[in-house]
Structure 1
Amino acid sequence: MSDGSFGLTEAVSIALGGMIGGGIYAVLGVVTTITRAATWFAFLLADVLAICSAYSYIKLNELAVNDNGGDGGGSVTFVQSFTGNSRLAGMIGWTLLLGYVGSMAMYAFAFAEFSISLPGVPSSIGGLPLRPTISVLVIAGFVGLNLLGADATGSAENILTSAKVIVLVVFGLAGIVYALSVSSDPVTFGTSRFTSFSPIMAAAVSFVAFQGWQLLFYDQESIAELLETIPKAIYLSIPVAVSIYMLVALVTYNLAPNAIQNNPHTALVDAASTIGGAVGLASAAGIVISLSALFSTGSAINATMFSAGYFAKGMATDDLLPDRAGDASASGVPTRTLLILGIVTAVFTAYGSLSAITAFASLTFIVVFGAMGALAFAQRDTDRITAIWPAVGTVGGGLSFVLMFYHLYTAERGTFYAVVLIAVAVFAVELLYFERDILEEEIPSVDRDSETPVE
């Protein structure tokens, strides 16, 4: 759509759908293994960082539209607009694309985990685990769907988001009622962990679940009165999403402590079964949550792939991606671009663990959002920007980055080395691409020097 027909309701649905889409189903188990009962507090900390990051995006967008006479945009546009450095913009764009790939891999992993949790679905066939196969197949399915030109309207997004939110809110409220009136165990809030670094580390790991609001900046031509609608939508959607995350985390940990220990990725199913068991509907409640998870993670894969495809096409148009990544002049998302995104995502989700994929995706978004905070802080002399919020976002992002690396190094050494190797490889490829003109000038001189006769 390009007629500015998305109002506040549709904008809230897009932002909220991007966060609720699959994040809670994918990150809850990972975060609870880090900070246990204080998971709800970790989500609250992530909320603060997300709001500060959103403030920077909103203010940079206002400056880009009003002062620079542009159409607004996202991270790449902001870097180009305020620094004039295309290489830096391109490297930020590549990092963001990796974040999208990590997000899709995370959703596909969770999709498979909840598929296996359904009655009658085996965890392996012939001794081979079924999880990687399901994850790869769902990625392939949504690549095919996007190749057909699938899209969602604002009205459809309203319905889909409402359904996802209703299921989780009902689950959370029913869980609170169960904990207070049926369960004999006291509700645990994990306050003893508030004085440790574990909630901060968990907040950093969960950050990937709170980045969906930025999708609004890539569809601004569809939003009416964008400079008013986008801030309202973001400042409404982030607190609502975080409130739901906190409620679900509190209920799941208290009602399914054994599942949190033994099978944290699908502990939501056990918690729902416990609630449903009070009225004789344990199996039905578990199936509803599993199906909701499949629906939510599937729609999140589709929406992220759609957005990432157009984002990559825009980068190719600006010569920030190689021509071989896809034909930027093609109608819609280039086929080759979708195939590359799908293949890389499939490799990530097939061979990575959920904790590793989640950590990798969160790190990429922390880097990008922290950079946008620093960029907004650099523009603090303008009347529109209050320096404290970009400063908090930048410092918080930097601290989260350091603490996450520390956590990975001490608790998940294999994941730490994998993330470092991937980061180094990507950085090397970026330098080779963006410094290719310099390399082309230097290589002939090397050849000529090598041909100089020796006396």
Structure 2
Amino acid sequence: MGDQLGLTECVSIALGGMIGGGIYAVLGVVAQITRAATWAAFVLAGVVALCAGYSYNHLNALGDGYGGSVSFVQQFVGNTTLAGMVGWTLLFGYVGSMAMYAYAFAAFALGFSAVPDGVAGVPLRPVVSVAAVALFVALNLLGARTTGTAETVLVGAKVAVLLAFGAFGLVYATSLSETRMAYGFGQLTTVGPVVAAAISFVAFQGWQLLFYDQDAIADNVQTIRKAVYVAIPAAVTVYVLVAVVTVNLAPEALRTRPHVALADAASAMLSVVGLSGLGLAVVSASALFSTGSAINATLFSAAHFSKRLVQGDLLPDRFGDADADGVPERAVLVLGAVTAAFAVYGSLGAITSFASLSFIVVFGAMSYLAFRERGDDVHPVPPAVGAAGALGFAPLMLYNLYGREPETFWMVLALAAFVVAVELLYFEREYVQQELSDFEDGLEPGG
């Protein structure tokens, strides 16, 4: 019992999954859509995420205590095909998240003056992204794993940097500079914050990792319940504080260099004491560590998740060894390769939208399932809000993507259609084989 994770460690893991890389990778993309009302987008996304968390906790308590989205579908719907499709959608969401972190990692690395943007005409951003993914693939293959205690320390340091950034930024903006603070209240009646909330949703997915390895958590159902209700509001608070400061102190950076706007804001506010270079360096270094650790943690969790899918015959055996100790090597290599491809060929906005869409679909489905399975002890509003939020977010995100990047929009739709087709062919392979066999028999003479 003494080796199991308690509430502090679980809150740290959930916060680490959300704040670890999300704020650095998502902020600039969201701010380009809704500017001064960026904080409202994070609040709205956080509310829907909290409602989804309520739904997950409810389903976890009703089930066998070893949940997760795939297990919930298997337990309460009993449809293997649907459970497998949920699992595959989550895997694609994890790949998109890791690609987003790898993209942001490279952007902050190139933000240091000593690092050139390219060498011999070759841009370094894709190279650094692939190198970051390769590094953490290698670490996972070596069996490296952060303990709960270490994660508590690391998350504490990351949160401390962001809170200090936000607190000092507010003091600087309101007292030490001539900045006129804008909060975008006039935009709250427009669709902009809702679209931005949909895109930022990927920054609120880390808490669900707690549901995958509940053997390691003391009093798992109650501990996870409390951790979710602490971690999501805490993440919202940090995101709102950082968003308000960055939007007001680095508006030009959000237009021209959205991926590193946080570092530019830190540089601006520390210039008052002649330490603009230090502010840039501290935030950039924190971003490198945060996005790097987010790649590592997500890859570790996704590989274990894929192992469970293989064990349940929801992924082909070629994807990984279901009986392997630790993470399956082939799963790590495949996930790493697909992540690297996404990071090289995708734009940050497209990758972020793709990952958010994956989690919106799954979280919305789980919220609907919780609403359907509710009892007298469950309030119907949170699951309803979670499901309705997903129903509203998904089409708005796609509409926004169609307007901003129509080529990417069609590519995402084509990819989604391809994935669904492959999923159905895999999960309904026995039915398809039988139909083909019957068809061939009918073509034979006398058939």
- Counterpart in 2 of 1:221? 215
Superposition deviation, residue 86 in structure 1: 1.0
**Given residue 147 of structure 2, which amino acid in structure 1 is its aligned partner?**
T
Deviations 1:298-356 (A, max 9, x none): 00000000000000000100000011111111111211111110111111111000000
Question: Contact conserved, 2:66 with 2:213, CA < 8 A, in 1?
Answer: no
1:123 and 2:117 correspond: yes
> Residue type matched to 1:52 in 2?
C
For residue 171 of structure 1, report the CA deviation from its aligned partner: 0.6
Alpha-carbon distance in structure 1 between the residues aligned to 2:179 and 2:65: 55
CA contact (8 A) 1:4 1:221 kept: no
Please name the residue that 1:17 is paired with. Answer: 16
Q: Write the deviation string for residues 394-416 of structure 1: whole angstroms up to 9, x where unpaired.
A: 01110001111111112221221
The aligned counterpart of 1:47 is 46
Instruction: Say yes or no: does 1:283 pair with 2:277.
Output: yes
- Show the counterpart of 1:59: 58
Q: CA deviation at 1:453?
A: 7.9
Q: Is the counterpart of residue 29 in structure 1 residue 22 in structure 2? A: no
* Greater mean alpha carbon deviation, residues 352-361 or residues 252-261: 252-261
Q: Contact 1:11–1:216 at 8 Å: present in 2 too?
A: yes
Q: 1:4 offset after TM fit, Å?
A: 6.0
Q: TM-score, normalised by structure 1?
A: 0.96
1:95 is matched with which residue? 89
What SS is found at the alignment partner of 2:8?
helix
What is the aligned partner in structure 2 of residue 302 from structure 1? 296
1:416 counterpart = 2:409: yes
Superposition deviation, residue 3 in structure 1: 6.4
Q: TM-score, normalised by structure 2?
A: 0.98
User: Secondary structure in 2 aligned to 1:185?
Assistant: coil
**Alpha-carbon deviation of 1:448?**
3.1
| In 2, Cα distance between equivalents of 1:327 and 1:47 | 37
Residue 389 of structure 2 corresponds to: 396
**Offset of 1:222 from its aligned partner?**
1.3
- In the TM superposition, residue 192 of structure 1 has moved relative to its aligned partner by 1.5
- SS state at 1:385 partner: coil
Q: Which moved more, 1:345-354 or 1:404-413?
A: 404-413
Q: In 1, Cα distance between the equivalents of 2:265 and 2:347?
A: 23
Report Cα offsets for 1:215-263 as digits up to 9, x if no partner: 1111211111122211111111111111110111110111111111111
Q: Give the conservation status (yes or no) of the 8 Å contact 1:379–1:385.
A: no
**Structure 1, unaligned runs of 5 or more:** 65-69
Separation of aligned partners in 2, 1:101 and 1:306: 12
Is the aligned partner of 1:235 residue 2:229?
A: yes
Measure the CA separation in 2 of the matches of 1:8 and 1:449.
62
Alignment of structure 1 residues 366-381 onto 2, 5 Å: 366-380=360-374
1:292 equivalenced with 2:291 (yes/no): no
Unaligned runs of 5+ residues in structure 2 are none
> What does residue range 54-453 of structure 1 map to in structure 2 within 5 Å?
54-64=53-63, 70-380=64-374, 382-452=375-445
Q: Give yes or no for contact 2:179–2:249 (8 Å, CA) kept in 1.
A: no
**Residue 3 to residue 341, structure 1, CA distance change in 2 (3 Å):** farther
Distance across 2 between alignment mates of 1:217 and 1:293? 26
Is the contact between residue 37 and residue 183 of structure 2 (CA under 8 Å) also seen in structure 1?
Answer: yes
- Bigger mean CA deviation after superposition, 18-27 or 412-421: 412-421
Which secondary structure state, in structure 2, belongs to the residue aligned with residue 181 of structure 1?
A: helix
- In the alignment, the residues of structure 2 paired with residue 397 and residue 169 of structure 1 have an alpha-carbon distance, to the nearest angstrom, of 30
Distance in 1 (CA, whole Å) between partners of 2:101 and 2:186 is 31
Contact residue 115 and residue 294 of structure 1 kept, 8 A: yes
Aligned to 1:67: none
Cα pair 1:19 1:213 within 8 Å, conserved: yes
CA contact (8 A) 1:374 1:390 kept: yes
Q: What SS is found at the alignment partner of 1:194?
A: helix
Is the Cα–Cα contact under 8 Å of residues 62 and 72 in structure 1 kept in the other structure? Answer: no
Distance 1:327 1:269 in 2: 42
The Cα of 1:28 is off from its aligned counterpart by 0.4
Q: Report if aligned partners of 1:213, 1:234 keep a CA contact under 8 Å in 2.
A: yes
Partner Cα distance (2:437, 2:445) in 1 = 13
Q: How many residues align?
A: 447
Contact 2:19 2:159 in 1 (8 A): yes
CA deviations 1:258-311 (Å, max 9, x no partner) are 111111110111101011111111111101100000000000000000000000
Other-structure match for 2:5: 6
Look up the SS of the partner of 1:302 in the other structure: helix
Counterparts in 2 of 1:289 and 1:136: CA distance versus 1, 3 Å? same
SS at match of 1:278: helix
Give how far 1:163 is off: 0.6
Distance (whole Å) between structure 1 residues aligned to residue 415 and residue 101 of structure 2? 20
- Please state how far the C-alpha of 1:138 moved relative to its aligned partner: 0.7
